[in-house]
Amino acid sequence: MLGNTLEPFTNPNDIKIHHGNFSIDLVLMLVVVVIIIPYIFFNIRLHVPYPVKSSLKLQDYYILTILLVYLVIGVYQQYFWTKKNKLRKEKIIPKTKIDKIFYSIFGENDTWVYIYNFIYYFIFGLIVISIRDYKHFAFIILGGIIMMTGLSIIWYLFPNEIEQRMKTDKYFLQKTQTIDAYGNNCCPSAHVAFAMYSFYLLKNVIGYTPAILIPILISISCMTTTQHVFTDIVFGAIYSILVYNFILKKIFPTTFK
């Protein structure tokens, strides 16, 4: 009886999920991004609607991008930790009437995986453009760590999952589903929470309308790829709004305005 109770938390396949799926193709893609992104965004930094006053050089853009990539990978280990460590078995987040309306309009569409996944590379570049100096960069990273830590506490205390994800032959969505298998971490949506975080960081750099498109497009991609349901999206946005306005702005008022 005890063995059956513990089985969902001790599945040996979980080890493969967390340590065996960041494959060589993804590593190579990451290397390419680190090589290209700093150069591209350094050259367009003065062409955004509201350029940031900064003395950062091209080499600084490379340093910040490398640090950002590895810090994001490191901080996201909290996300994977909660897949194996949770207070109770995860509950299913049901679809709502809004989900049905959404799918009647957009349907299930695995092509949106390119928005769901790759827009983050673009966001990284934009965030680097928004950075004034290394201290500013450190505060932005601390803000991200606070965001992820709060999410991880929620997922640990209230583990949850969606009922079913779509079957796909799209390589990157298959990869995402493999890495993101075995329950938990659906609500609030981390994708939406961090998309909203990037909106706050970028609205005074690229303009309000382009910045708000980031969480909107990410939210649509979360649902069309069936990675999330509407409830996950709403709570992801609410979570980010609350953390940014009532925690980050209080701790770092000069950085988060």
List the one residue out of 162, 173, 199 whose CA is nearest residue 111: 173
Q: Within the chain, where are the H helices?
A: 2-6, 13-19, 24-44, 58-75, 77-84, 97-105, 113-130, 134-157, 171-179, 190-202, 208-224, 230-243, 249-251
Q: What is the pLDDT of residue 22?
A: 57
Residue 190 DSSP SS3: helix
Residue 109 lies in a domain: yes
Residue 133 lies in a domain: yes
Q: What is the pLDDT of residue 118?
A: 84
Number of domains in the chain: 1
Q: What is the pLDDT of residue 183?
A: 79
Q: What is the pLDDT of residue 12?
A: 39
Residue 23 lies in a domain: no
Tell me the per-residue pLDDT of 3-61, one tens digit each, with 9 for 90 and over: 444 444 444 344 444 444 556 777 787 788 889 999 999 999 999 999 999 999 999 99
Residue 84 lies in a domain: yes
Reported pTM:
0.89
Residue 7 lies in a domain: no
Residue 9 lies in a domain: no
By residue range, what is the domain housing residue 171?
39-251
Residue 92 lies in a domain: yes
68 burial class (0-12, 13-18, 19+ CB within 10 angstroms)? buried
Mean pLDDT of 99-104: 96
Mean pLDDT is highest, among 31-35, 182-186, 238-242, for 238-242
Residue 101 lies in a domain: yes
C-alpha to C-alpha distance for 211 and 201, rounded to whole angstroms: 9
More confident residue, 138 or 257: 138
List the one residue out of 53, 102, 78 whose CA is nearest residue 226: 102
Q: What is the pLDDT of residue 9?
A: 40
